[in-house]
Structure 1
Amino acid sequence: MRFAYRRCALVVALSTTALVGLAAPAFAEGVAEEQASDATVDPNEIIVSARRRDETLQDTPIAITAVNAAMIENKAAINLGDLMGAAPNLIITNQNSGAAAANLSIRGLTYADIEKSQEPTVGVVVDGIFIGTSTGQYFDFFDIEQIEVLRGPQGTLFGRNTIGGVINIRRSRPTGEFGAKIEASYGRFNTLATRAVINVPLAGETLAAKVFYFHNEADGWYKQAQTGKPRGFSNNENYGGSLQFKAPGGNFDALITVEQQEQKMDPVVAEITKTGELFCTFIPANECNRNQTTDIYTVFGLPNVSLYKAPSVTGEMNLDLGGVKLTSVTGWRKMTETQTQDFDGSTADLYYVLRQQTYDQFSQELRAAGKIGDSFDYVVGGYYFRSKYQLQQWTRLFAFNPAIAPEVFDTNPQQVNGKTTSYAFFGDFNWQFADQWRLSFGGRFTRDRKSLRNAFGGVQIGQGSDTFKKFTPKVGVDFRPNDDMMVYASWSRGFRSGGFSPRAGSPASASRSYQPETVDSYEVGAKFELFDRKLQFNVAAFYSKYKDLQQNTTLFCAVCATQNETVTSNVGSATIKGLELDFTARPAEGLRITGSLGLLDSKFKGFVVGGISPVTGLVIPFDFSNNDLIYNPDVTASIAADYEVPTSFGKVVANIGYRYIGRYDQQISTNTLTGNLTTGPVVVTGNDPRVRTDPQGLLDASLSARFTIGDDTEAYLTVFGRNLANDRGMTHGFTVGGLWSFATAREPRTYGVTLGVKM
């Protein structure tokens, strides 16, 4: 029945897309910033900064989806995960092995890991600052001006480690006027959220301030099998303030934001160990061989707690010299984490860890933007990034006694110290070389220096340092036959820097660096506006060649203190082909319909890495070329509608949306083995089916009554529901070298009510 429901909804979504025809763009609506004084401002036009310039969405020759504050409010979105499926070929899941950590995939490119020494393949940029680790990326959506999802490599302007794309988040600035936005919501699983943003003028139009406070807590949607009590609680705090200075005359402005993010949570995991894995011989029979859908909401493991604190400072300065605009963006962030986690997830005390880690990053970007004549514009600049990382992990392995603290049981804790220093210089240029034709080109040179030291109990296992350099160019051309159509073609290269394996446990693995991976992406696309801009449509087709893939392999390791190690290595290549469609239609007053469709086809080539022979126990070649790439669903699709009705008290806004995400694997692992099992090569026939999600059909809805109170105040009451079809299953599944396996579950049906006021 559930499958029939999903399939029917997907057919409706795709049929709607087909009916709209080849005609419209990204899924957003907003008010353009003030244009030239003699220009007419289209209220449906969106201004984006995807290329470090302010330009309209339809004039930007890249695949991009923009979501503004009004859309976020209408659908009652609360965090980054609510974007999943709304943009083509975008996957976002929460990784609970790290605080506020996200697994991100755009166009099939991802790297699902929370270690601070290994950077993500999708960049999350907040107010111009790149977050250098997946921890802290799972962002709150309350104080957001606009979100831009840039698909494909963005190495020229946003740097290394953006080979999949970028999620560019812009928060609101101080308004310079007294005002506030305050709301509280309550929902299922005892979820309580209180949020406030207050704007205060300090010195006319010259100096303004903004303060904010967000709080979100919930009991969690897991149930402890032994007691029936809820598990998976979370308590999140984010607070701070911004100060903005605007010089008289308007040629200089500066903004500084100081904030702190805090989280306390229970990083619970569900047991999916099966017969044949070592741990299944030690845990009760009813805790083995469980399914990956409904069973994973019942857990058996010991209590955990994660404590996270992340202060940060962001500064931006702009100086307009007339012909050129100079911009400086400075960012500092520090993260401190202490986390216990029962990774085996069973009533037996088999694998329990205590992790303490710190991470800090500093970045500085300087850039200049301007025009030369009427046909040439540019953005050039330099970038510096530095990060440091320290980890200490105590492991309680086969203790069978939860009363012993991990730091007492483990007298040889794992210690990892890492450092990254990066420099880059970049340029991006547009040249209108003929009427209706424009050439876009640019490049970035990056130099990274990385070092990592692995030790156990203070005794060094391995240490290494290496330098990685790369030039990442791009070139594109676009053609505008009229004001309502643009076609474009581009080639771009992205690269993800090399490094060292933070979970290596043997001297050879710990001191050996892996090399950068690169992506060459070829893209053609078109953007249309039809019927007096009531219908917009974007289409893009791409082909990506993925070389020197960095992949984790977890192996049994007799000489390692934990009896296993996870090693990162370069393992061949992959090709990814895809098609993306998105549209916005406004067929009637107050009605907006949006939709998207993403198709992916991917394949490994030459993916050969060392594995353990099931016959001899020695390391021999394993060929994973037949496995699926992770976080690569064949289909993602969405359809949504907003309907706004004026009333005597204000207006009523209804929103309903459906997102479909096809099945995808979450880990490179082993299923059936063929070939030469003694000396290799062993041929792996696919990933373990336990790390594969089922297809997801997520139905969301909200209904808001907005009350106008005076000229400048609006109160609103919103009733919302997420995953109303109660589609249950995994967000993350992981197998550990034949020892055991665990999973985390996605949010089941939830609902609630929000009361707020804006003034």
Structure 2
Amino acid sequence: MKTMLKLALLAGAAWSAAATTAIAQDAAPAGADAASGQVAVDELVVTARRREETLKDVPIAVSAFSAETLERQAANDITTLSQTTPNITVQTARGSNSTLISYIRGIGQQDPLWGYEPGVGLYVDDVYVYRPQGAVLDVFDVSRIEVLRGPQGTLYGRNTIGGAIKYVTNRLGDEAGGKIRGTYGSYNQTDLLVEGHAPVGGGLSVGGAYALYKRDGYGANLTTGAEHYDKDVQAYRLSAEYKPNDDLFFRLAYDRVEDDSNPRHGHRELPALVGGYKVLDAYDTQAGLGDKNAVKTEGLSLTGEYHASEFLTFKSITAGRKGHTQTLIDFDGTPLPTLDVPATYDDRSFSQELQAVYSDDTVQGVFGLYYMNSQASGEFDTIAGNLGVSIADGGKVSTQSFAAFFDVSANFTDRFKVSLGARATRDHKRSNTFRFFYLGATRSPYQGGTPRPILQVRTNYSAEKTFEEFTPRLSASYELTDDLNTYVSYSKGYKSGGWDMRGDAFLTPQTVEGYDPETVNAYEVGLKGNLFDRRVSFATAAFLSKYKDQQVTTQVVVPSGIASSVDNAGASTLYGVEFEANARFSQHLSGTVAVGYIHAKYDTFSRFVPGGAPNPVNPSQTIPAGGQVVNVADLYGFQNTPEWTGNASLTWRGTVAGGELQVTPMVSYRDDYQQFEQPLPLLDQKAFTLVDLTASWAPEGGRYKISVAGKNLTDERYRTGGYNFGVATYNNSVIGFYGPPRTYSASIEVKF
């Protein structure tokens, strides 16, 4: 009852505030400040539908953050989106500084293992970033970041079942310029950013950016003496733009990320049963596996645009990406080789997209073809000291994806528009998977260990499948006034099927059959626009999603190691509301607010329980011989999906000492959430609040700027991930991974 009351109040406030002022807006004369444009929120243009539109006109729930906004938030990387965007989780994966885990409206993918598909698509300048390794993008050389909530199966295709994140970099233009920014902060943070661009002549411009991020660890590895939770990242971007005339444009872009930060081994949440190892500070470890970690990703893309007429533009996006990861995770957090996992990942992809964009006063739309050829492979050892074995899991998944799509809007009247879109996708996948047991609790030959014969073949198979899906979208929007737009929409999302790379065919023979795609049907109603002579811009949405054939990963401890399965175990219903607003109260004061609520509940969650085991739904009963599939929906919940999320900030601007001073305090809230589908009190995170404060000063003319930032000022300790192997076989190994502590930094930036 309390939750429903909050939901009703939130939705009612958003809708009634707009509705009661709609008539007044048309009648009220603009004030002097509003007429001059000095007191009004900025209007941001986005490309959520692959064509330029203002936020108000897009019938999609979109959050957009300009470079200036991201700077005010002291956004170091895209994980800041978790603080500022409703119903979203964007965080660093367990064990790494640069592997991405993302969820939108309860849908995503927690496991970054090769072969598993993400549920949220990440795009850099419309190029799909295929794998999560190296995808925690640092914020530099950025024009804006867009977050599209809800399935984007029509325009963006497979694996955008939860939504999409678009990272849009700066274009070079035809004027020379650049900047240098240096930052020093807590834990010896030392960052350097250099950007520059210049016209060469004949319509050709070149530019580049280099970023270096270094920081000591928040903690230490007490066994090796190495830094723990440190940062050592270099990133490069180079581009060339050629515009010989107003009708032609080409852009060649290259990017590379090198992350040599030490591995994050996690924090032991329980004392060890053997060796007397205790619970340490949240950022310390006693891991003995080592401190070598390396992630390298790079991509090359060529974008071409041809304006065939006033109404028609053709566009081509050609891209290739590849990555290599060498990483370690010591899951037991002790010098003992109880549960050590060295791993290697490799991936590469090629994609080609062709678009035709049409726009006149009546019809606007995009038509396109898409092709991707990708390979993802890897191998990891599970060194199980108490079992005296090393388990090598490895394989490769190759994917060829084809799609044809369109999205067209038609103006039936000056205020009423209908949009229709659809995408037909065909994924052909081939997989090779193996799981070998080696005698001896040391690295297997795949990870550079002593060559020795295989003790037991648990899995070794090849398979291939073709998955096809049709994902339509339909929306209708109506402008209540020149400043208010309301819409309703239906969309379908799809995530491809595959095979469990950890599957043990000896324990679970069905693993060789793989798992099917999952789909979601989403319904949304929204209202967005401007109020009070554009002093306030806002967007609100209410959504309902029916999620089917959910791919659920389950790992359980068994006498021979760890048994993994990926099953289409779930079907669920998700609904909620979101509200975002920007306000300009005066020439000196502005503010933002964002609130999200989501109710995510399984309708069914099928789990096989072996014969003789207690029935998890009714422990007084015993499962009959042969086993039984049990619906445990009432016992399970959604991971990485807080019921409530919220954010509020204020920015004061004024002239101080001959320059402009900006001060921005920001508060963000995340409700409690589970790390996995099954509740785990030792790992699940309680609700927490983060408080940040940034300030900057720039003299008149703005050639240089001085900035300071304080993040997590109340020094909250909060988990962003964890693993549960709390049994004697693995020395009571329950470990958590934590977000950053309180930090301070100061920057100076010089433009030229």
TM-score bucket (shorter structure): 0.7 to 0.9
Deviation, structure 1 residue 733: 1.7
**CA displacement 1:721-743 (0-9 Å, x = unmatched):** 00001111211022248553221
Q: Is the 8 A contact 1:119 1:134 kept in 2?
A: no
Aligned position for 2:193? 195
Q: Is the 8 A contact 1:475 1:492 kept in 2?
A: yes
Aligned position for 2:286? 300
| Alpha-carbon distance in 2 for matches of 1:227, 1:495 | 45
Q: Is the 8 A contact 2:114 2:345 kept in 1?
A: no
**CA displacement 1:159-192 (0-9 Å, x = unmatched):** 1111111111100111222211210101111111
Aligned position for 2:720? 731
Map 1:479-628 to 2 at 5 A. 479-506=478-505, 508-557=509-558, 563-611=561-609, 620-626=628-634, 627-628=636-637
Deviation, structure 1 residue 74: 1.8
Closer, same or farther in 2 for the Cα pair 1:110/1:533, shift >3 Å? Answer: same
Deviation, structure 1 residue 110: 1.7
Q: Is the 8 A contact 1:272 1:690 kept in 2?
A: no
Calculate percent identity across the aligned residue pairs: 29
Q: Is the 8 A contact 2:277 2:334 kept in 1?
A: no
Closer, same or farther in 2 for the Cα pair 1:282/1:451, shift >3 Å? Answer: farther
Q: Is the 8 A contact 1:419 1:452 kept in 2?
A: yes
1:423 matches 2:402: yes
Aligned position for 1:695? 687
Q: 1:232 aligns with which of 226, 229, 234?
A: 229
Deviation, structure 1 residue 227: 8.1
TM-score (norm 1): 0.86
1:714 matches 2:697: no
Deviation, structure 1 residue 297: 2.7
Q: 2:98 aligns with which of 89, 97, 100?
A: 100
Q: 2:79 aligns with which of 78, 81, 85?
A: 81
Q: Is the 8 A contact 1:422 1:446 kept in 2?
A: yes
SS of the residue corresponding to residue 489 of structure 2 reads strand
User: Which has the higher mean CA deviation after the structures are superposed, 731-740 or 114-123?
Assistant: 731-740
Map 1:264-283 to 2 at 5 A. 264-272=260-268, 274=270, 280-283=272-275
Map 1:401-440 to 2 at 5 A. 410=390, 413-440=392-419
**CA displacement 1:215-246 (0-9 Å, x = unmatched):** 10111212445688742222101113100000
1:397 matches 2:395: no
TM-score (norm 2): 0.87
**CA displacement 1:487-508 (0-9 Å, x = unmatched):** 1101111011111101112252
Deviation, structure 1 residue 614: 5.1
1:446 matches 2:425: yes
Aligned position for 1:464? 463
Letter in 2 for 1:694: K
Closer, same or farther in 2 for the Cα pair 1:152/1:119, shift >3 Å? Answer: same
Letter in 2 for 1:82: T
Q: Is the 8 A contact 2:134 2:296 kept in 1?
A: no
**CA displacement 1:630-683 (0-9 Å, x = unmatched):** 1111100010011211345331111110000111111123xxxxxxxxxxxxxx
| Alpha-carbon distance in 1 for matches of 2:532, 2:14 | 15
Aligned position for 1:756? 749
1:667 matches 2:654: no
| Alpha-carbon distance in 2 for matches of 1:736, 1:155 | 37
SS of the residue corresponding to residue 571 of structure 1 reads strand
User: Which has the higher mean CA deviation after the structures are superposed, 358-367 or 348-357?
Assistant: 348-357
| Alpha-carbon distance in 2 for matches of 1:128, 1:19 | 32
Q: Is the 8 A contact 1:657 1:699 kept in 2?
A: yes
SS of the residue corresponding to residue 81 of structure 1 reads helix
**CA displacement 1:469-495 (0-9 Å, x = unmatched):** 000001111111210111110111101
SS of the residue corresponding to residue 282 of structure 2 reads helix
Closer, same or farther in 2 for the Cα pair 1:90/1:177, shift >3 Å? Answer: same
SS of the residue corresponding to residue 633 of structure 2 reads coil
**CA displacement 1:299-321 (0-9 Å, x = unmatched):** 22123321111121011100000
Q: CA RMSD in A?
A: 2.6
User: Which has the higher mean CA deviation after the structures are superposed, 630-639 or 690-699?
Assistant: 690-699
Deviation, structure 1 residue 463: 2.1
Aligned position for 1:384? 371
Q: Is the 8 A contact 1:283 1:347 kept in 2?
A: no
Closer, same or farther in 2 for the Cα pair 1:19/1:565, shift >3 Å? Answer: closer
Closer, same or farther in 2 for the Cα pair 1:513/1:19, shift >3 Å? Answer: closer
Q: 2:259 aligns with which of 257, 263, 275?
A: 263
User: Which has the higher mean CA deviation after the structures are superposed, 647-656 or 538-547?
Assistant: 647-656
1:369 matches 2:347: no
Closer, same or farther in 2 for the Cα pair 1:509/1:235, shift >3 Å? Answer: farther
Q: Is the 8 A contact 2:44 2:55 kept in 1?
A: yes
| Alpha-carbon distance in 1 for matches of 2:644, 2:300 | 39
SS of the residue corresponding to residue 553 of structure 1 reads strand
Closer, same or farther in 2 for the Cα pair 1:434/1:283, shift >3 Å? Answer: farther
SS of the residue corresponding to residue 260 of structure 2 reads strand
| Alpha-carbon distance in 2 for matches of 1:569, 1:735 | 20
Closer, same or farther in 2 for the Cα pair 1:160/1:642, shift >3 Å? Answer: same
Closer, same or farther in 2 for the Cα pair 1:81/1:258, shift >3 Å? Answer: same
SS of the residue corresponding to residue 22 of structure 1 reads helix
SS of the residue corresponding to residue 504 of structure 2 reads coil
Aligned position for 1:641? 650
**CA displacement 1:675-698 (0-9 Å, x = unmatched):** xxxxxxxxxxxx111231111201
Aligned position for 1:134? 132
SS of the residue corresponding to residue 736 of structure 2 reads strand
1:154 matches 2:155: no
Letter in 2 for 1:500: W
| Alpha-carbon distance in 2 for matches of 1:513, 1:548 | 13
Q: 2:312 aligns with which of 324, 327, 330?
A: 324
**CA displacement 1:431-459 (0-9 Å, x = unmatched):** 11234111011100000011211124586
**CA displacement 1:573-610 (0-9 Å, x = unmatched):** 01111010111110100321000100011110220122
| Alpha-carbon distance in 2 for matches of 1:691, 1:363 | 39
Deviation, structure 1 residue 557: 4.9
Aligned position for 2:205? 208
Letter in 1 for 2:489: S
| Alpha-carbon distance in 1 for matches of 2:695, 2:396 | 50
SS of the residue corresponding to residue 189 of structure 1 reads helix
Gaps of 5+ in 2: 1-5, 20-36, 437-453, 615-621
Deviation, structure 1 residue 622: 4.8
Aligned position for 1:220? 217
Closer, same or farther in 2 for the Cα pair 1:228/1:696, shift >3 Å? Answer: farther
| Alpha-carbon distance in 1 for matches of 2:14, 2:341 | 54
Letter in 2 for 1:254: F
SS of the residue corresponding to residue 49 of structure 2 reads coil
Letter in 2 for 1:350: T
Map 1:104-119 to 2 at 5 A. 104-119=102-117
Closer, same or farther in 2 for the Cα pair 1:47/1:19, shift >3 Å? Answer: closer
Letter in 2 for 1:439: V
Letter in 1 for 2:669: Y
Gaps of 5+ in 1: 1-10, 25-39, 402-408, 670-686
Letter in 2 for 1:506: A
Aligned position for 2:477? 478
Deviation, structure 1 residue 99: 5.6
Deviation, structure 1 residue 544: 0.5
| Alpha-carbon distance in 2 for matches of 1:208, 1:585 | 37
